Amino acid sequence: MDKVLSGLSLFSNVGVAEAYLEEIGVDIKIANEIDQKRGEFYKYLYPKTNVIIGDITDNSIRNEIVNESINQDIDFIIATPPCQGMSIAGKMNPHDLRNQLISYAIDVVKRVKPKFILLENVPRQLKTKIDYNGDRILIPEYIRLELEDQYNFNSNPVMSAMDYGVPQMRKRSIFLMSRKDTTITWDAPEKSEKIITLRDAIGHLPEIDPVIREGYETTLEYFPDFEEKKAKALEISKWHYPPTHALRHIKWMMHTPSGETAFNNKIYYPKKANGDRIKGHYNNYRRFDWDKPSRTITQNNGVISSLTCVHPGRLIQDDGTEEGRIYSDPRCLSIYEILIVTSLPKDWNIPPWANDRMIRSVIGEGIPPLLVKRIMEGLLKEL
């Protein structure tokens, strides 16, 4: 498609948000990412983009971003600053220095003066304070103080990915801004008529058993059909391979029903080596629910003990007792399933050198690209 907008991506990760932008006419010409490996990942996905790898808080890096943006006539900026200091999946430290990174994005905006801006973060951004001229003020208040003279803002800054065709309950704080001289009002797109559940999204995929970390013989002892299931999965996608987990975690999840947490089990509950019950969040060691979108996919989506990240499973044995109640797929989602529930292309061009942990982490940090596409299509209709 012919180019409609020329864009700059700040805190770009590996370009998860940008997955569908080129096909709708948004050309991300420049991207900035602090991490070298993520920057290389981005270059692999988007070889035409000028990826500036470096710390945006460094004046020389920020000046390079600004100068390149002005030279390239950038008229759109998407910025997704780190959320770990605010997210409920993190420590929610109000004084986390990463919370201040929004100020560097605003500095770039004020110097480049793009026509349109998309600022994205976790909903807790709306209740997070940062330092500003000797005071502590809320981030939304800060953004408005800096930009409302030049930009119009969207009416409701909270959007949920599941309302826009993404099979994931991922709420985001999203500020959509249009420069006042454009006379364009940019707001959230209309919501989808249908919510996509995990049954809709991945219910057609066959069962796969996890690899047991304690060894191949142990894997076959518990899952005699392991190789046959693995082969069928790999016929679908090379990314639909079995995750590896510790046997004790697998045992707990084998006896945990869909949508439930192993903490509710009477026998197969999370416990330490000495038998003491493990304490944790009620969403740890939890299976997804088939009849809902997935909960938010986090960085640690390959770790059973993390916030809800275990496959919903199917009941394969039940004698009325917890010991005799067995569910399939006592594992985290495969990378292929993660691609689907995050709304990334199933054939996303992942670099061959990226390992499992990196792939899962960068996807977990990214905003679902179908949500971004829907938002941008709303703007493009106004242009």
CB atoms within 10 A of CB 61: 17
Phi-psi region of 277 (alpha: psi -120 to 50; beta: other; left: phi over 0): beta
Burial state string for 101-120 with b = 16 or more CB within 10 A and e = fewer than 16: bbbbbbbbbeebebbbbbbb
Question: d(Cα 55, Cα 64) in Å, to the nearest integer?
Answer: 11
Q: How far is CA 259 from CA 240, 281, 327, in A?
A: 22, 15, 12
104 membership: H or E segment, kind and range: helix 102-112
Tokens at residue 231, please? 């082969």
β-pairing, 129-132 with 211-212?
Answer: unpaired
Residues 16 and 368: their CA atoms lie apart, in Å, by 7
Q: 378 burial class (0-12, 13-18, 19+ CB within 10 angstroms)?
A: middle
Phi-psi region of 320 (alpha: psi -120 to 50; beta: other; left: phi over 0): left
Widest pairwise Cα distance in the chain: 70
Q: Which of these is catalytic: 19, 83, 147, 309? A: 83
Residue 83: active-site member = yes
**Known catalytic residues?**
83
